[in-house]
Amino acid sequence: MAFPNLKVVGIIVVGCVVFTASLGLTQEIPSPPTPPQPMYKSEKIVVAMRAEFSDYKSLVPLMQKFEKETGIRIEHIDYPAVALRDNLITVLATGAPTYDVVLMDIVFIPEFAAAGFITPLDGSKDPFIAYTKDDLADYFPGCIDAVTYKGHLYAKDYSSDIGMLYYRKDLLSDAGLGGPPTTWDELISYAKKLTKDFNGDGVTDQWGYAFTAKEYEGCLCIFNELVAQAGGSLIDKQGNVTVNEPPAVKALQFMVDLRNKYKVVPPGVVNYTEKDIHTGFINGKFAMARNWPYMWGMCEAPDSPIRGKVGMSKLPRLKQGGSTMGGWFFGIAAGSKRKRAAWELIKYLTSREASVYMCYKSADIPYRRSFFEDPRVKRDLSWVLPFKDGMKDAVPRPSIPEWGTIKKPLWTEIAKALIGQKTPKQALNDVAEEWKRILSK
Position 1 in a domain: no
Query: How many CA atoms within 13 Å lie on the side-chain side of 1?
Result: 14
Name residue 257's beta-bridge partners.
none
Q: Alpha-carbon Rg of the chain, whole angstroms?
A: 22
Selection from 64, 54, 32, 8 nearest residue 357 by Cα: 32
Give the span between the Cα atoms of 367 and 390, in whole angstroms.
Answer: 10
94 and 217 in a single domain? The answer is no
- pLDDT-derived band of residue 32, with 50, 70 and 90 as boundaries? confident
273 and 342 in a single domain? The answer is no
User: Helices 81-92 and 108-115: crossing angle, nearest 10°?
Assistant: 10
Mean pLDDT of 88-98: 96
Give the span between the Cα atoms of 25 and 53, in whole angstroms.
Answer: 18
- pLDDT for res 54: 56
- pLDDT for res 12: 30
Above 70 in pLDDT, residue 8?
A: no
177 touches 171 (CB < 8 A): no
172 and 256 in a single domain? The answer is yes
Position 2 in a domain: no
User: Helices 217-229 and 403-418: crossing angle, nearest 10°?
Assistant: 80
- pLDDT for res 16: 35
386 touches 164 (CB < 8 A): yes
157 and 176 in a single domain? The answer is no
150 and 173 in a single domain? The answer is no
Size of the chain, expressed as the number of residues it contains: 441
Strand duo 323-332 + 101-105: pairing:
antiparallel
Residue 309 neighbours by CB distance under 10 Å = 16
- pLDDT-derived band of residue 83, with 50, 70 and 90 as boundaries? confident
Please give the backbone phi and psi of residue 75, each rounded to the nearest 5 degrees, phi first. Answer: -110, 115
Above 80 in pLDDT, residue 289?
A: yes
Give 310's DSSP letter: E
- pLDDT-derived band of residue 55, with 50, 70 and 90 as boundaries? low
Give the span between the Cα atoms of 163 and 224, in whole angstroms.
Answer: 11
38 and 117 in a single domain? The answer is yes
- pLDDT for res 53: 58
274 and 403 in a single domain? The answer is yes
- pLDDT for res 52: 61
Position 384 in a domain: yes
Residue 236 neighbours by CB distance under 10 Å = 12
- pLDDT for res 6: 36
98 touches 314 (CB < 8 A): no
* Distances in whole angstroms, Cα of residue 179 to Cα of each of 168, 173, 369: 10, 9, 25
Position 180 in a domain: yes
In this structure, of 21-25, 41-45, 108-112, 280-284, the range with the lowest mean pLDDT score is 21-25
* Distances in whole angstroms, Cα of residue 114 to Cα of each of 90, 111, 118, 147: 15, 5, 9, 12
Position 147 in a domain: yes
Task: Return the CATH number at 387.
Answer: 3.40.190.10
Position 260 in a domain: yes
- pLDDT for res 190: 99
Domain count, the chain: 2
- pLDDT for res 35: 76
What is the percent of the chain with per-residue pLDDT over 90, rounded to a whole number?
78
391 and 432 in a single domain? The answer is no
Above 80 in pLDDT, residue 255?
A: yes
Selection from 311, 274, 313, 280 nearest residue 294 by Cα: 274
Give, for 103, the enclosing helix (H) or strand (E): strand 101-105
Above 90 in pLDDT, residue 23?
A: no
User: Domain span at residue 219?
Assistant: 164-322+399-439
Give 380's DSSP letter: H
Q: What is the mean pLDDT of the chain?
A: 90
Above 80 in pLDDT, residue 18?
A: no
In this structure, of 6-20, 65-79, 115-129, 131-145, the range with the lowest mean pLDDT score is 6-20
Give the span between the Cα atoms of 343 and 174, in whole angstroms.
Answer: 53
Give the span between the Cα atoms of 191 and 175, in whole angstroms.
Answer: 10
Above 50 in pLDDT, residue 11?
A: no
Greater model confidence, 392 or 335? 335
Residue 12 neighbours by CB distance under 10 Å = 12
154 and 172 in a single domain? The answer is no
Report the sign of the C-alpha dihedral through residues 186, 192, 195, 196, in that order.
negative
Position 119 in a domain: yes
Above 90 in pLDDT, residue 428?
A: yes
Name residue 105's beta-bridge partners.
328
Give 38's DSSP letter: P
pLDDT in tens, 187-224: 999 999 999 999 999 999 999 999 999 999 999 999 99
Query: How many CA atoms within 13 Å lie on the side-chain side of 433?
Result: 7
Give 105's DSSP letter: E
107 and 255 in a single domain? The answer is no
Q: What is the pTM of this model?
A: 0.85
Mean pLDDT of 252-263: 99
Residues in Cβ contact with 430 at an 8 Å cutoff, skipping those fewer than 6 apart: 409, 413, 422
Mean pLDDT of 73-80: 91
71 and 45 in a single domain? The answer is yes
16 and 137 in a single domain? The answer is yes
- pLDDT for res 73: 92
Greater model confidence, 36 or 92? 92
Position 285 in a domain: yes
364 touches 55 (CB < 8 A): yes
Give the span between the Cα atoms of 148 and 267, in whole angstroms.
Answer: 38
Give the span between the Cα atoms of 355 and 377, in whole angstroms.
Answer: 10
